[in-house]
């Protein structure tokens, strides 16, 4: 069955800039995203957090707009504007009525090409980002998971937190941001993703008028990220809190690996949905926690599968033993026909419903293109999900749940529990 009723294309301009277009005439909105291959994987240790800092700073003013002008002009047309930084890229995006798409493209291009990085604004925004770090440090699950990935990927670019640190932020000035911006905010490291009620011709026109005509140079720039040497360690953090927060990191596949489809089916069945095995066992049957979840994160040449839970101190060992029992059962018996069918339907439904959102399509197609240089194949993804077998799920589970390579993290008032040793027992 073909679920895709939209036209989707990717073209590359002379400068190296890529345009992804997803046409949906059933809506009256247009989402535009500017994806730049700038994230922690492109930062040195001393630059940790600079990609995220730039994401903030471009909204503080350009050569033609003040910070207030940017938000006021966006609000005046009822549009939404925002940005986010991931491990591998940064995205600036808008959603508006189709009639206001050109105005949004103009504003986004201004943010991309002409940020001033004004020193006075930089000092104020440095304080804002430091408060963001403080907020994260006051959030135990953030602390648990951030420390987990830092330990797991130690010595690799992926070990760095997206926000950076207070130390690295204090070392950044306007000149450092401008230098980093000049290096990475180049057309061959950029994808323009446009989705919604806008024709391919009009999307090309906007791309050429506001981006391609202002681009200089050509070529094919891309940050190459090496495979990581993974570390099976335990990281502990003593914190005066009521719950014990526990995380595990297992090796997984890179973003473009075809086996990631089976991993996604696995995660739906095993650890992601309310009906999944981990939720039903640790939360519903044993009543040990409110939150338990497992999910994959994949990058260029690297991947990780995370399991996280928060429980009372008295239930921590029981929760870990229950997680181990469910993994053992999975590796011994695999999944049932009913679980496989349910997992596939849940995953396909999520993809299909996402097509009803122009913002979701913009993000999906843009993120895929900036990470692979290719067009996201929606119908191919649906077909690949349908083709997953029980054996495929079992095989990826055996690869992922390698207890000799697992890392652990604990954040608690009493952080003495060796969570990895207990999981291996």
Under 8 Å between Cβ of 92 and 34: yes
Q: For residue 50, which of 357, 331, 58 has the smallest C-alpha distance?
A: 58
Point out the catalytic residue in the list 43, 46, 55, 317.
Answer: 55
CA-based max dimension of the chain: 63
The distance from CA 82 to its chain's CA centroid, rounded to whole angstroms, is 15
Give the separation between CA 19 and CA 207, rounded to whole angstroms. 7
Place of tokens 């053992």: 328
3-state secondary structure the chain: CCCCCCEEEEEECCCCCEEEEEECCCCCEEEEEEEECCCHHHCCHHHCCHHHHHHHHHHHEECCCEHHHHHHHHHHCCCEEEEEECCCCEEEEEEEEHHHHHHHHHHHHHHHHCECCCHHHHHHHHHHHHHHHHHHHCCHHHHHHHHHHHHHCCCCHHHCCCCCCHHHHHCCCHHHHHHHHHHHCCHHHEEEEEEECCCHHHHHHHHHHHCHHHCCCCCCCCCCCCCCCCCCCEEEEECCCCCEEEEEEEECCCCCCCCHHHHHHHHHHHHHCCCCHHHHHHHHHCCCEEEEEEEEEEECCEEEEEEEEEECHHHHHHHHHHHHHHHHHHHHHCCCHHHHHHHHHHHHHHHHHHCCCHHHHHHHHHHHHHHHCCCCCHHHHHHHHHHCCHHHHHHHHHHHCCCCCCEEEEEECCCCCCHHHHHHC
| Neighbour order of strands in the sheet with 7-12 | 7-12, 18-23, 190-196, 29-36, 90-97, 80-85
Is 132 marked active-site?
no
Q: Which residues are catalytic?
A: 55
């Amino acid at each position: 069955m073909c679920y895709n009723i939209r036209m989707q294309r990717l073209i590359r301009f002379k400068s190296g800039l890529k345009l992804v277009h997803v046409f949906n005439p059933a809506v009256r909105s247009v989402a535009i995203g500017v994806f730049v291959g700038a994230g922690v994987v492109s930062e040195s240790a001393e630059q940790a957090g600079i990609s995220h800092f730039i994401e903030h700073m471009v909204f503080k003013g350009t050569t033609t707009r003040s910070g207030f002008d940017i938000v006021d002009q966006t609000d005046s047309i009822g549009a939404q504007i925002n940005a986010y930084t991931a491990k591998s890229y940064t995205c600036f995006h808008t959603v508006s009525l189709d009639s206001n798409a050109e105005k949004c493209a103009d504003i986004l291009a201004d943010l991309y090409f002409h940020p001033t990085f004004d020193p006075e604004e930089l000092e104020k925004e440095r304080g804002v980002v430091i408060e963001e770090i403080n907020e994260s440090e006051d959030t135990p699950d953030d602390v648990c998971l951030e420390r987990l990935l830092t330990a797991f990927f130690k010595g690799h670019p992926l070990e760095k937190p997206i926000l950076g640190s207070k130390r690295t932020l204090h070392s950044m000035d306007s000149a450092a941001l401008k230098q980093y911006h000049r290096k990475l905010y180049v057309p061959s490291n950029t994808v323009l993703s446009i989705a919604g009620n806008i024709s391919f011709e009009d999307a090309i026109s906007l791309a050429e008028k506001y981006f391609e005509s202002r681009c200089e140079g050509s070529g094919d720039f891309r940050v190459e990220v090496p495979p990581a040497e993974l570390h099976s360690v335990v990281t502990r953090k003593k914190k005066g809190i009521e719950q014990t927060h526990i995380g595990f990191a297992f090796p997984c596949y890179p973003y473009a690996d075809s086996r990631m489809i089976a991993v996604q089916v696995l995660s739906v069945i095993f650890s992601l949905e309310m009906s999944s095995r981990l939720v039903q066992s640790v939360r519903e049957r044993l009543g040990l926690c409110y939150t338990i979840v497992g999910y994959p994160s994949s990058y260029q040449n690297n991947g990780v599968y995370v399991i996280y839970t928060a429980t009372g101190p008295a239930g921590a060992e029981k929760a870990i033993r229950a997680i181990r029992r469910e993994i053992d059962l999975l590796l011994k018996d695999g999944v049932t026909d009913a679980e496989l069918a349910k997992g596939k339907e849940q995953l396909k439904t999520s993809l299909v419903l996402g097509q009803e959102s122009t913002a979701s399509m913009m993000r999906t197609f843009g993120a895929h293109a900036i990470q692979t240089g290719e067009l996201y194949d929606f119908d191919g993804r649906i077909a690949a999900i349908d083709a997953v077998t029980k054996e495929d799920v079992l095989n990826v589970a055996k690869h992922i749940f390698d207890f000799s390579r697992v890392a652990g993290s604990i954040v608690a008032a009493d952080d003495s529990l060796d969570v990895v040793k207990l999981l291996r027992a």
